[in-house]
A and B are shown apart, each in its own frame.
Chain A
Amino acid sequence: MRNIKKIIPLNRVEGDLRIQVEIEDGIVRDAYSVGTMYRGIENLMRGRAPMDSLVITPRICGICTTAHLNAAAKALDMAYSADVPDNGQRVRNITLMVEQLQNDIRHAVLLFMPDLIHPCYANEPLFAEAFSRYQVLKGDTALQTVKETKKLLEIISILGGQWPHSAFMVPGGVVSVPMASDIIHCRNILRNFRKWYEDRVLGCPLSQWRQIESWDALLVWLDQSPAYRDSDLGFFIRYGLDLGLDTLGRGHDTFISYGGPDVPNRHRVRPVKGDHLRSAPAFYSPEGLIPLDPDKISEDIACSYFEDDPSIRHPFDGQTIPGDPDTGGKKYSWAKAPRYDGRPAETGALADMLVADQPLFVEQVRSKGANVLIRELARLVRPINLLLAIDRWLAEMTECKSLFFHDYTKAVSARSYGLVPAPRGALGHWVTIENGAIANYQVITPTAWNASPRDSMGIRGPWEEAIVGTEIRDPDHPVEVEQIVRSFDPCLVCTVHALKVR
């Protein structure tokens, strides 16, 4: 019997992450997700003007910056009873979705795939091809991804001034007033990206992929044409199955998604089965789908380096009081433990697909549970829904005369929140305003859900749970652990309170 305790730092995540695992006889017996940085962003919001959240909270994260802006703006919409006109809503949604698009592809190609070219896979038949596609900064797909995602982000610049870190969303809409020529530019940029995505990543038109509703249908599709097999999606499925990624990383199988963005009052993005852009916020488990009740969200600091009594609070009442990380005991992370109705929940592209009742993903999670392959697959195909909706909303902007901003009256006191589907999943901002200033500000990021440490009951967070039970081929190179964590698209700079994990 060989017992090993190992600390695994991960690179290629936004921020640093350290996973501590206990391996016994080649099996992970226990796992701890450890946050080692505290950035204190929530606390520096206190006493500031409420509008300042629009400038400061996007700085929580350099890749989900627009999502934080949107969450902050939504919280202020609610606080000030501001009504967002249709075109304001469209600009918000288009920019939010563009950010999500670039993230999905950048995450998959630049951050996740390099794990699959670890030297330990050198004898795999598809290794050489994987290497030529995904070698960092040199692989074919990697090079194209850098070029294409960069161009795509020009849409946010045209509508919002710059990416990352603008503050163009305000309560009541957006500040910009794009002209028809601006919107045409945006549509052309989107068209360019869509063509690349269909040719290279998907291997087929968007509409064709939407017809795949089961694993069997997926395998049939894969064999239909070399274009499908050789697309990055086709290649990932084949190589992923070779590596057994579909048997890796099953967690609690509980999920949270904030669904799609708020939609304009009048628009033509119709609900389609499996399209998460029209689904409502929900909690999903094998027992079924439960509509989300925001009152049931809480954060637990029993195992986090924070001090508070009680240790479980709704984010409206949440405190962020940093303790001494050397105190020891059961505290081991600068991340808090978000819970829904007392349960941990995984969030991200897969959760979006499940609450949208997308048949392929529901079938797979029901039969095999969540795993590395299905999480990454969800992320690779989520752009289909995004591309179609963005184009429709852009077109609608040129067709109607709606305003982009409605004025409002600032409230002196309020308690409000903004829930947003961010690139990595469920993002929430909760704000309390007193005497015209921020009295309390709490943020729960998607990675906070996924990277959660244990709670008061000792229940592990989602990726801790997903790691436990994993068979490790080479304890000196536990690549399996890295792949599992990476399949959640970790963004540790975001795991604020405001933490960074190593």
Chain B
Amino acid sequence: MAKTLYWIQGGSCGGDTWSLFNADTPDLTELFDFLGLELLWHQSLSSLSSDALDALNRDILEGRQPLDILCLEGSVIHGPKGSGKYDMLPAGPKKNLIRALAEKARYVMAVGTCASFGGIGADSDVMASGLQFTKWEMGGLMGQDFRSSGGYPVINMPGCPCHCEVVVGTLSAIAANMPVELGHYNTPVNWYSVMVHQGCTRNEYHEYRIEEKKFGERGCLFFYMGCHGPLVPGPCNKVLWNRRSSKTRVGVPCFGCTRPDFPQQYPFFETRNIEGIPIELPDGVSRAHYMAYKGMAAAAAPKRLIQRKTGI
């Protein structure tokens, strides 16, 4: 029997849906047939009337319509002061409907950083949270002990937006009853055990510490331009965006959008550093050894690279 999918938007820009439009093999029009999924509702893709949607919601909540997979795109809005009045449905705050649906679903997926951790609006009077986290802290809307009836906590798929391959891949696994291995912050290890830095075409610059200090110079963006590539996990340079490129490849620093604290409170486009060494180093790196290694690497840098005769 086809598994059912319900996609709901909270405090959202719609970017995760448009990112999903980038999917390829299967693309969005093929996805549901390929995976044997029945799409019950998606804001941008469904043509149910509002009466029919109300009826569908009642059927799910009262147990007449099985719900296998719930995807939330966007944050859960609690403001002002926990009332949820900044995001209202005719029947009440939308957060109540999100919670009720999540309690019925066999699998609950947080698509994007807002749904996972609160994201945009987590630090404001909007009081945005994720489904099971508020920034670094577990809890969120559903509470830290929540497990859906399929036995999983909320499956977090951060990224701003979430890459379409993460969504398609995770849905494929669930559709095929394959286990989804979760790592840090309950993210699927298949896509979040790789750092954004891995696969960046500017790796050679990084290796020899050829830095970009001014836009367009072409160099590693980690030391001065605020790149989070070596610091945060994400598949951007493994699977690429729109099948073509990535931000770091074209010279846009990684803003660490998969991390629970995105958007970070410190400025973008600059690296917080002490005498040219970033304050934040990759997890587990010994600062003293790192400084020695980078100093020697810079001294060993090939001329070709220093002169940017690289095509990158």
Contacts and interface: CB of A to CB of B under 8 A. Distances in A.
Given A37-B11, A61-B13, A161 B46 contact: no
B121 interface: yes
B266 to A, nearest CB: 9
B58 interface: no
B124 interface: yes
Give the dominant DSSP class at B's interface: loop
B311 A44 contact: no
Nearest to A177: B216
Given A150-B24, A175-B215, A44 B86 contact: no
Contacts of B240: 157
Interface in A71-113: 106, 110-111
B243 A14 contact: no
A83 to B, nearest CB: 14
Given A137-B45, A493-B12, A167 B124 contact: no
Q: Which 9 A-B pairs have the closest CB atoms?
A: A62-B15, A162-B241, A161-B247, A157-B242, A49-B267, A62-B14, A175-B251, A157-B244, A176-B250
Interface size class on chain B is 35 or more
B87 A161 contact: no
Given A7-B90, A136-B45, A175 B252 contact: yes
A13 to B, nearest CB: 8
B43 interface: yes
Given A51-B268, A138-B29, A175-B216, A162 B120 contact: no
Contact of B18 (A63, A157, A177, A407): A63
Contact of A37 (B27, B47, B77, B215): B77
Interface stretch (A140-148, A243-251, A412-420): A140-148
B251 A177 contact: yes
Contacts of A54: 268-269
Interface of A: 7-9, 11-16, 18, 36-41, 43-44, 48-49, 51-52, 54-56, 59-63, 65, 106, 110-111, 114, 136-138, 142-143, 146-147, 149-150, 153-154, 156-168, 170, 172-179, 185, 322, 324-326, 334, 403-405, 407, 477, 493, 500, 502
B252 A147 contact: no
Contacts of B68: none
Contact of B216 (A40, A136, A403): A403
Contacts of A106: 21
Given A49-B270, A157-B245, A167-B255, 15 more contacts: A36-B87, A36-B88, A37-B11, A38-B126, A40-B124, A44-B120, A52-B268, A62-B14, A62-B161, A147-B27, A154-B243, A162-B246, A165-B15, A167-B252, A176-B216
B85 A326 contact: yes
B77 to A, nearest CB: 7
B104 interface: no
Nearest to A115: B47
B14 A14 contact: yes
A63 B268 contact: no
A158 B249 CA distance: 9
Contacts of B243: 154, 157
B18 A164 contact: yes
20 contacts: A7-B90, A15-B14, A39-B86, A40-B86, A49-B269, A51-B268, A55-B269, A59-B160, A63-B18, A142-B29, A157-B240, A157-B245, A161-B241, A165-B160, A166-B252, A174-B215, A175-B251, A405-B214, A493-B13, A502-B89
B80 interface: yes
B129 interface: no
Nearest to B87: A37
B248 A161 contact: yes
Contact of A43 (B21, B53, B124): B124
B263 interface: yes
A143 to B, nearest CB: 5
A162 B245 contact: yes
Residue among A9, A11, A54, A170 with the highest chain B CB neighbour number at 10 A: A11
B123 interface: yes
